[in-house]
Amino acid sequence: MQTLDPAGEWLRLSEHYRQLSDDELVGLAPHTSELTDVAQQALAQEIANRRLKLPPEESAAPPSPEPPPGSAEGGESPYAEERELVDICAVWSLADALKLQRLLDTAGIPFFIGPEKATGVDAVTSNFANGLRVQIMQVGVPWARQALQQYFPADEPHEEKADESDNLAIHCPKCHSAEVVFEDLKRGSENADGKPSSKFKWTCDSCGNEWEDEGLVTE
């Protein structure tokens, strides 16, 4: 997977901190001033997810992980579009939410669930019975699509399953098959608006066709 900056760096660092022990995370907390902004946010999120207790004199050290990476706070960034939060699905029970969390954690994809934008299922305060939206950064959608191939919810309304499957479907432009595999994400030069252009590389398992696009859902 090609590392992006800062969106891809967020994914990489989130996975790195997820592999550390509780003691290692607490040991890093006093030294956040030596880390990049992205690393500080990823570290703070992991500490918050585990509900770790820091020594009183260090409790204010990690920066708040809010607002999430998809927010516009801090001015327009050339990576703002890649860091925008997008819906990938909805969960209707705690059991399904935990299934999805395991898949996204394994793939190293930070996510936000419910109107409170909780970064972990244990922090959700909303009612699952009403259906809670799960969001990730736009740049993580291709990897999330692959992870969701292993997600089989038990408590999702029938009509919701069909709608969200369609929302995430990428079809081969040659044979229109949905058996599409994400291969790579290529960063290009900046466009007229000063934003970097990104191209997603795909391969069709059905006919072998290879193509690049902007990662948009195709009919």
pLDDT at 112: 93
Distance between CA atoms of residues 24 and 157, nearest Å: 42
**Chain segment 111-157, per-residue pLDDT in tens:** 999 999 998 899 899 998 889 999 998 888 888 888 888 899 888 77
Hey, which CATH number is domain 169-219, 2.20.25, 3.40.50, 2.60.40, 1.10.10? 2.20.25
Q: What is the pLDDT of residue 9?
A: 76
pLDDT at 59: 41
> What confidence score (pLDDT) does residue 162 get?
47
- The whole-number average pLDDT for the span 81-96 is 88
Local confidence band at 77 (pLDDT 50, 70, 90 cut-offs): low
Instruction: Give the model's confidence band at 96: pLDDT under 50 very low, under 70 low, under 90 confident, else very high.
Output: very high
Check: CB of residue 172 under 8 Å from CB of residue 210: no
Structure tokens at 70: 């998809």
User: At 119, is the secondary structure helix, strand, or coil?
Assistant: coil
* Other C-beta atoms lying within 10 Å of the C-beta of residue 63: 14
3-class DSSP assignment, residue 62? coil
Domain boundaries, the chain: 7-58, 84-156, 169-219
Confidence at 185, pLDDT banded by 50, 70, 90: low
Between 66 and 150, name the one with better pLDDT.
150
pLDDT per position as a tens digit, 10-60: 778 888 888 888 888 888 888 877 888 778 877 887 887 788 887 665 444
Give tens-digit pLDDT for 194-214: 555 667 777 888 888 887 776
Pair 179, 205: CB distance under 8 Å: yes
The least confident of 92-101, 113-122, 137-146, 178-187 is 178-187
Return the H-helix or E-strand segment holding 14.
helix 7-19
Any idea which architecture 84-156 has in CATH?
2-Layer Sandwich (3.30)
What are the tokens at 140? 């993580």
Name the band, by pLDDT with cuts 50, 70 and 90, for residue 186. Answer: low
